[in-house]
Chains A and B, each alone.
Chain A
């Protein structure tokens, strides 16, 4: 007797599909809970944490932003292996503006976000036509190249880096700035990816030639996606510069490239929420494993392989499915 798994939408999902959701609190909660959860977590969690875990939460938010930026690019068909590029460019912009011109963080962070997005777009402009792994290879190479350029030309303090940046006025402001930024980016760009504009971006990933065929200039859309992804990464970098009060060659380190990919893959690519969820999972885990030192990166590598092979949809899709549907085994009638 062969059996197969059948998935059926939960009653509550069907009931809350349209305006009738307003009939009961249960249905409304069912719809609102997944959206409210990240907001509540981001806004309330800092109040209950000690100083150390607040710092961890801070880096969770930073890596979540990088993972979201990776996911937006990946959804547009550009898989980047070097998120450190965006992070590093933003960090150096903020650092340089603060160090050489003495601008306050409230000017350098927005400026670095925009400039960083622009510069990383310009850097990747020549390779925009590349698809698939060719694009990935270039993104892997450019951060390494920038490190060597900084080392060779000794700009921006060379190997020493720049230090003594102005910190943000208070710890709380720091924390809520990045968490607020994360929520804004998460919900804003999720909305964008579900709009017609996002549909074009996803179309480029699915079949770029048919998007061209529809009379859409895919390069212009790819440029916009690159700017969006680059600006998000640059914001994270610029923010971290003011938190560490230092910017140097480590901003191009492999960590900033690998962890976001790992977070997006573990969390579930294709929904920005998955990337955020992955960061909330992996960064505290890596913090807990701090005692193991370099073994953390080994674990990321293993996570990447296991999830790509065994659960390519990621945790988020899995949880989402369980939330909306129930499963049962049924007999296969005629085989």
Chain B
């Protein structure tokens, strides 16, 4: 039981990291807390579902299309909404929250709730690892999270755009003097954050079904992980995913499933109270944030 719980806790960690990485990327680069994150996650899931069932497109095409749509959507949200209220953190929060609310509640209104709204798993197989059944999808999530985090690290350290991202994150004015356009970078960061949400949805949604309520949960979980780890720090996201992931699984197994959400929410409160910038947060020192 202990080993099984540990394995599932590891998987849970990967899921949380995958959910939070897009939110974290946007916040780390442009300082925008994208409260529409859960909504774009769900939007991508519904998008893939529609392309698959209504238009009978092949799975990879549908996924690519959904990721592309999210890229565009993120950029559009920045260009037409956030650009005008840039720098007013609270207006940004209220505006993105409004967008998220509108998207999620529209899906709820359209009545797209139920078990038939789900995405297929990649390969319908399962393995036995140390006496525990683990299906292929969950393994794929773990592998993909690891690859994604490594890939993002490579991207931000060895490509021109990635370096520009880090420049903007570290010191916006100095970056401007180097000819880095901060609006362009912020647009890109919103777009990439939304695209990462779409990828996360494609990997995670097959474990359950699509519902608007899930959007709020994803937002809360991404917030939880980012707050505990320190907003904008990738190391913090990984560490916080481990903490929340293990805490959730172990409370689920040993205390009761009702308490899982409470544990992570309580963790946020404790971290915010003791160390508001998070475990690895360096918002105050304005050091490297990605």
Contacts and interface: CB of A to CB of B under 8 A. Distances in A.
Interface of A: 74, 79, 81, 126-127, 129-130, 132-134, 136-138, 140-142, 144-145, 148-149, 151-152, 258, 261, 265, 292-295, 297-305, 308-309, 312
Contacts of A74: 90
A145 B272 contact: no
B150 interface: no
A297 B101 contact: yes
A297 B105 contact: yes
Contact of A308 (B98, B105, B269, B272): B98
B89 A132 contact: yes
A180 B265 CA distance: 38
B31 to A, nearest CB: 9
Contact of B272 (A79, A127, A152, A297): A127
Contacts of B273: 126-127
Interface in B254-270: 256, 258-259, 261-262, 265-266, 268-269
B258 A305 contact: no
Interface centre among A126, A137, A302 (most CB of B within 10 A): A137
B108 interface: yes
Given A141-B223, A149-B262, A294-B108, A308 B101 contact: no
Contact of A298 (B105, B220, B224): B105
B240 to A, nearest CB: 14
Nearest to B102: A301
Contacts of A308: 85, 91, 94-95, 98
A309 B84 contact: yes
Interface SS, B side: helix
B220 to A, nearest CB: 7
B102 A261 contact: no
Contacts of A151: 258
Contact of B89 (A133, A293, A295, A302): A133
Interface string B74-114: 00000011001100011101110111111101101100000
B113 to A, nearest CB: 11
Interface residues of B, number: 38
A148 B261 contact: yes
B99 A305 contact: yes
24 contacts: A79-B90, A126-B269, A127-B273, A132-B90, A138-B268, A141-B224, A142-B265, A145-B261, A148-B258, A148-B261, A152-B258, A265-B94, A294-B105, A297-B101, A298-B102, A298-B109, A300-B101, A301-B105, A302-B98, A305-B81, A305-B95, A305-B99, A308-B91, A309-B85
A81 B269 contact: no
Nearest to A308: B95
Contacts of B94: 79, 261, 265, 304, 308
B235 interface: no
Contacts of B97: 81, 301, 304
A46 to B, nearest CB: 32
Given A127-B269, A132-B90, A305 B227 contact: no
Given A145-B261, A145-B269, A148-B262, 8 more contacts: A127-B276, A132-B89, A137-B33, A141-B224, A298-B109, A300-B98, A302-B102, A305-B99
B102 A152 contact: no
Interface centre among B84, B102, B103, B261 (most CB of A within 10 A): B102
Given A136-B93, A294-B109, A295-B109, A141 B98 contact: no
Interface centre among A292, A300, A308 (most CB of B within 10 A): A308
Nearest to A296: B105
A148 B260 CA distance: 9
Nearest to A153: B258
Given A126-B269, A144-B220, A145-B265, A134 B102 contact: no
B265 A141 contact: yes
Nearest to A79: B90
Contacts of A298: 101-102, 105-106, 109
A294 B259 CA distance: 29
B89 A312 contact: no
Given A132-B90, A152-B256, A304 B95 contact: yes
Contacts of A261: 94
Nearest to B265: A145
Contacts of B220: 140-141, 144
Contacts of B106: 295, 298
A187 B262 CA distance: 40
Contacts of A144: 220, 261, 265
Contacts of A130: 272, 276
B251 to A, nearest CB: 11
Contacts of A309: 80-81, 84-85, 95
Nearest to A303: B98
Contact of B93 (A79, A129, A142, A299): A79
Contacts of A132: 89-90
